[in-house]
């Protein structure tokens, strides 16, 4: 086994995580003629996908292109729309007009000048994101991120997607089985058999008997059938940092088929959590994420219905579906010949839509650094575990930042989120640094950071964080360059608003005519 090439990979579990992983692995290793590696996806007929997780990062464009998907087909079959970032309402103090943006476009001139210092010095009354980036205005005006003639996956303004998660899984399954030679088995796993060295030898199933493989990918969701249950790798709970463990989710129809489609995820803070609002072409997906220790289910439902009434829903209010989760991640993600991806590896909360992005990162690293044989697998596992422990910790820091900076005082939920005991030491140290200098590439040094320093700037300065630059300024701050960048942003904003169609307009064009292939 130690010198034999890997020949067969079995992915256990479907949904977005399983089929995304299958697509990335197959496109790289098994879909071409003469490939020696086979990919099989095994899923239970009785386990339905969760059906939420409707937001992606711009990285999804690269992932879909990598596996050979048509963006036109994706829009048509997944009820997809464009996402250009997130809008945060009522997170700072809950006052009237309290909002800011975390756009997907980095600030104009980012890395060339100290934009934050010049903003605070010369434009303290302007919103930071509006001054340094054109994208918030595109969101406010419901603009699409490209024109009808822009090819598939190309962008005028950087974008990800909103999508129907159930339809997305079906779309990926069809593509993987029809185009990428992924074998699909629907059956129940009844037992796991092991080799003498502790590796998984085979999965016993009801109808297909023993299914053997060289590498097993656990995409079985929070039950973590292989990594958690078989190997006993514990979940490292993070609820002492990120309090939310519940969500009430529902779908809401538009008042008519011409209603505008939001260009961003809208996140609205509540007394005990926050509400997501995602616009798809045919409906909105809405949910209240909250802490069960601070809020009852009944309170959550009442708050969700109150939000619907405030945002224009006058007809019958749907009954939400409750989702429960334990925020945390596995102590290890790769053990022996088993790798966990998706919720089998961990889940924190829906804020900033990191779940699908972590699936993409995991599948990409596994595909790119696939060990040739069992002898190389332990080395690959060590590197994978180190990389993803770092990434989970960075996601925790970034999500916690939103809560730490809030000045809301309407409940113990928000006050306890600011207590030092709930803030990771690594985030406390960064906040101390950022009291005197803006976030930079020196603070986040990995080549593939989950969130770049620009994202931290958008959150910090969107929520009113103060950086004290002292009496003098550094020669490298270059205020004249910052001023030029601000002017360029305003000109880009004017041109983008004039030249880009509305979200619904472009999506309707894609439905009728499609996009040009690159």
Positive/negative CA dihedral, 481, 483, 485, 488: negative
Instruction: Kindly report whether the global pTM for this prediction surpasses the value 0.75.
Output: yes
What would the mean pLDDT of 405-434 be, rounded to a whole number?
98
Contact between residue 199 and residue 188 where contact means Cβ atoms under 8 Å apart: no
Using CA atoms, how far apart are residues 130 and 101, in angstroms rounded to an integer? 8
Q: Mind listing the pLDDT tens digit for each residue in 442-465?
A: 998 887 889 999 999 999 999 999
Q: What is the mean pLDDT of the chain?
A: 95
Residue 33 has pLDDT above 90, yes or no: no
User: What number of CA atoms fall less than 13 Å from residue 344's CA on the CB side?
Assistant: 33
Judged by average pLDDT, the poorest of 171-185, 419-433, 441-455 is 441-455
Confidence of residue 313 (pLDDT cuts 50, 70, 90): confident
Beta-carbon count within 10 A of 230 CB: 20
What lies within 8 Å, CB to CB, of 77 at 6+ separation is: 167, 170, 171
Q: Mind listing the pLDDT tens digit for each residue in 352-376?
A: 999 999 999 999 999 999 999 999 9
Phi/psi at 392 (5° precision): -60, -40
Q: What is the pLDDT, as a whole number, of residue 445?
A: 80
Compute the radius of gyration of the chain from its Cα atoms: 23
What would the mean pLDDT of 160-180 be, rounded to a whole number?
97
What would the mean pLDDT of 230-243 be, rounded to a whole number?
98
What would the mean pLDDT of 329-344 be, rounded to a whole number?
98
Considering only residues 5 and 80, tell me which one the structure prediction assigns the higher pLDDT.
80
| Residue 403: closest CA among 419, 426, 425, 421 | 419
Residue 390 has pLDDT above 80, yes or no: yes
**Which residue is listed with tokens 């069992």?**
374
**Which tokens hold the place of 456?**
């931290």
Using CA atoms, how far apart are residues 323 and 290, in angstroms rounded to an integer? 10
| Residue 159: closest CA among 56, 23, 6 | 56
CATH topology of domain 8-54+164-238+327-390: FAD/NAD(P)-binding domain (3.50.50)
What would the mean pLDDT of 260-272 be, rounded to a whole number?
97
Confidence of residue 1 (pLDDT cuts 50, 70, 90): very low
Confidence of residue 49 (pLDDT cuts 50, 70, 90): low
Distances in Å between the Cα of 201 and the Cα atoms of 36, 242, 294 are: 19, 37, 45
Contact between residue 163 and residue 83 where contact means Cβ atoms under 8 Å apart: no
Q: Mind listing the pLDDT tens digit for each residue in 73-100?
A: 999 999 999 999 999 999 999 999 999 9
What would the mean pLDDT of 278-301 be, rounded to a whole number?
97
Using CA atoms, how far apart are residues 226 and 224, in angstroms rounded to an integer? 6
Distances in Å between the Cα of 112 and the Cα atoms of 108, 397, 434, 484, 487 are: 9, 26, 18, 11, 15
Contact between residue 125 and residue 18 where contact means Cβ atoms under 8 Å apart: no
CA 423-424-427 angle, 5° bins: 95
Residue 247 has pLDDT above 60, yes or no: yes
Beta-carbon count within 10 A of 92 CB: 18
Distances in Å between the Cα of 77 and the Cα atoms of 74, 80, 147 are: 5, 8, 20
What would the mean pLDDT of 54-65 be, rounded to a whole number?
96
Judged by average pLDDT, the poorest of 19-28, 71-80, 311-320 is 311-320
Q: What is the pLDDT, as a whole number, of residue 53?
A: 57
Residue 67 has pLDDT above 90, yes or no: yes
Using CA atoms, how far apart are residues 388 and 450, in angstroms rounded to an integer? 10
What lies within 8 Å, CB to CB, of 490 at 6+ separation is: none
Q: Mind listing the pLDDT tens digit for each residue in 470-491?
A: 655 666 678 999 999 999 999 9
Using CA atoms, how far apart are residues 117 and 483, in angstroms rounded to an integer? 11
Residue 316 has pLDDT above 80, yes or no: no
């Amino acid at each position: 086994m130690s010198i034999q090439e890997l020949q067969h990979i079995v992915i256990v579990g479907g949904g977005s995580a399983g089929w995304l992983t299958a697509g990335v692995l197959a496109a790289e290793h098994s879909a071409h003629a003469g490939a020696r590696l086979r990919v099989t996806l095994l899923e239970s007929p009785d386990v339905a996908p969760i059906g939420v997780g409707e937001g992606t990062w711009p990285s999804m464009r690269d992932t879909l292109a990598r596996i050979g998907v048509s963006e036109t087909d994706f829009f048509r079959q997944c009820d997809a729309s464009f996402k250009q970032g997130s809008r945060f309402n009522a997170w700072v103090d809950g006052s009237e007009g309290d909002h800011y943006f975390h756009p997907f476009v980095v600030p104009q001139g980012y890395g060339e000048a100290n934009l934050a210092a010049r903003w605070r010095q010369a434009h303290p009354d302007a919103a930071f994101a509006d001054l340094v980036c054109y994208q918030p205005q595109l969101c406010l005006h419901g603009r699409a991120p490209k024109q009808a003639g822009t090819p598939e996956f190309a962008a005028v303004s950087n974008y990800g997607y909103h999508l129907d998660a159930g339809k997305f899984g079906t779309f990926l399954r069809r593509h993987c089985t029809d185009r990428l030679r992924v074998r699909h088995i629907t059956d129940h796993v009844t037992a796991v058999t092991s080799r003498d060295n502790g590796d998984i030898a085979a999965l016993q199933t009801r109808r297909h008997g023993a299914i053997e493989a060289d590498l097993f990918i656990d995409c079985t969701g929070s039950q973590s059938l292989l990594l958690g249950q078989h190997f006993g790798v514990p979940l490292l709970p993070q609820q002492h940092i990120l309090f939310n463990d519940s969500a009430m989710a529902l779908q809401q129809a538009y008042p008519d088929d011409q209603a505008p489609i939001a260009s961003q995820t809208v996140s609205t803070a509540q007394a005990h959590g926050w509400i997501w609002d995602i616009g798809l072409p045919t409906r909105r997906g809405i949910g209240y994420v909250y802490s069960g220790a601070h809020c009852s289910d009944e309170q959550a439902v009442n708050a969700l219905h109150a939000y619907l009434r405030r945002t224009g829903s006058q007809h019958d209010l749907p009954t939400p579906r409750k989702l429960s989760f334990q925020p945390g991640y596995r102590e290890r993600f790769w053990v022996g010949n088993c790798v966990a991806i998706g919720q089998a590896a961990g889940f924190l909360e829906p804020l900033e839509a990191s779940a699908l992005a972590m699936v993409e990162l995991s599948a990409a690293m596994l595909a790119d650094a696939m060990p040739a044989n069992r002898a190389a697998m332990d080395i690959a596992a060590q590197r994978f575990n180190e990389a993803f422990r770092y990434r989970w910790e960075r996601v925790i820091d970034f999500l916690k930042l939103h809560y730490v900076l809030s000045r809301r005082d309407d409940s113990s939920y928000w006050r306890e989120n600011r207590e030092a005991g709930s803030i990771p030491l690594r985030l406390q140290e960064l906040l101390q640094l950022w009291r005197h200098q803006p976030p930079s590439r020196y603070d986040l040094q990995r080549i593939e950071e989950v969130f770049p320093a620009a994202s931290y700037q958008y959150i910090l300065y969107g929520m009113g964080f103060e950086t004290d630059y002292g009496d003098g300024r550094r020669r490298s701050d270059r205020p004249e360059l910052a001023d030029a960048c601000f002017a360029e942003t305003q000109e880009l904003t004017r041109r983008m608003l004039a030249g880009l169609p509305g979200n619904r307009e472009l999506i309707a064009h894609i439905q009728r005519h499609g996009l040009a292939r690159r």
